């Protein structure tokens, strides 16, 4: 059985105590830290910048998964790479040259991913798959944590799984938005490799149990 990676989103963590919250999820067995970067243009919310990434980089060795929900990732991705991101995911709905952007990110020595919003079909990114390490399928409209999972995204996960398997691309599938034990299991069933989860983990009375429930482990 393949290992499913769990990537807690620190968007739902306590921003005055990030190091403490990261330690809790690290001890709980989280694999990655998902960092939601929003610019108030691509999405109607503003969150974390490179300075915060640089600070939290000192507190953990976990893999940093930076999800750039910004209009011009081609201008800013390098700052996040320098701040310690291990993977930079930009959105398919931007106007820059996406193959070139993925290439530049990978040439800097880290991984490159692309994300598709709920209304964007898999066909939009199919030609880019050879250049990518990961595709992030949004299972809510990006912008805010704590929204309800859109189950009509499940066929999109299966469709992408089939393409990746048929063509033998070396590309992971990540899902993000409304993931809990139940919706996470549905996504894994459909073919997801990485589960992002914010509100479910950080609003839980026992974040450790929440992380374990996502990876199918009993605490």
Residues with catalytic function: 36, 176
36 binds Zn ion (CB under 5 A): yes
Question: DSSP character for 219?
Answer: -
Residue 65 found at the interface with ligand DX5 (CB under 6 A): no
Positions 158 through 187 that interact with Zn ion (CB under 5 A):
176
Which partner from the list Zn ion, ligand DX5, none does 146 bind, CB cut-off 5 to 8 Å by kind?
A: ligand DX5
9 binds ligand DX5 (CB under 6 A): yes
Question: Interface mask (CB under 6 A) for ligand DX5, residues 164-193, using x and -?
Answer: ------------xxxx--------------
CA pair distance 4, 123, nearest whole angstrom = 25
CA–CA separation, 80 and 84 (whole Å):
6
Q: Which of ligand DX5, Zn ion, none has residue 209 at its interface (CB below 5 to 8 Å by kind)? A: none
> Judged by CB under 6 A, which of 50, 73, 142, 184 binds ligand DX5?
142
Largest CA distance in the chain: 46
CA nearest to 116, candidates 100, 103, 129: 129
Output 45 or 158, the one with its CB closest to ligand DX5: 45
CA distances from 128 to 10, 78, 100, 132, 133 (A): 28, 20, 10, 7, 10
Pair of tokens at residue 53: 């990434």
User: Which distant-in-sequence residues (6+ apart) come within 8 Å of 78 by Cβ?
Assistant: 108
- Least Cα distance to 37 among 21, 24, 50 occurs for 50
197 binds, among ligand DX5, Zn ion, none (CB under 5 to 8 A by kind): ligand DX5
CB closer to Zn ion out of 31 and 36: 36
Closest contact distance (angstroms) between CB of 146 and ligand DX5 is 5
Task: Report the distance separating Cα 33 and Cα 84, nearest Å.
Answer: 12
Residue 91 sits in the site that holds Zn ion (CB under 5 A): no
What values do phi and psi take at 14, rounded to 5? Answer: -85, 110
Residue ranges that bind ligand DX5, judged by CB under 6 A: 9, 11-12, 34, 36, 67, 140, 142-143, 145-147, 176-179, 196-200
Residue ranges that bind Zn ion, judged by CB under 5 A: 36, 67, 176
């Amino acid at each position: 059985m393949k290992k499913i990676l769990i990537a807690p989103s620190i968007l739902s963590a306590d921003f005055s105590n990030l190091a403490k919250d990261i330690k809790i999820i690290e001890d709980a067995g989280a694999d990655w830290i998902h960092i939601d970067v929003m610019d108030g243009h691509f999405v109607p919310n503003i969150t974390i910048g490179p300075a915060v990434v640089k600070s939290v980089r000192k507190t953990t060795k976990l893999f940093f998964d930076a999800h750039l929900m910004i209009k011009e990732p081609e201008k800013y991705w390098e700052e996040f790479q320098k701040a310690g991101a291990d993977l930079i995911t930009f959105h398919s709905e931007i106007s820059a040259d996406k193959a070139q952007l993925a290439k530049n990110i990978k040439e800097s020595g880290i991984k490159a991913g692309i994300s598709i919003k709920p209304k964007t079909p898999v066909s939009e990114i199919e030609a880019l798959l050879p250049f990518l390490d990961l595709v992030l399928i949004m299972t809510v409209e990006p912008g805010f944590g704590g929204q309800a999972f859109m189950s009509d995204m499940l066929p999109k996960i299966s469709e992408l799984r089939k393409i990746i398997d048929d063509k033998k691309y070396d590309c992971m599938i990540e899902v993000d938005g409304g993931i809990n034990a139940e919706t996470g299991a549905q996504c894994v069933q459909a073919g997801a490799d990485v589960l992002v989860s914010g509100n479910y983990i950080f609003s839980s009375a026992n974040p450790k149990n929440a992380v374990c429930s996502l990876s199918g482990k009993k605490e």
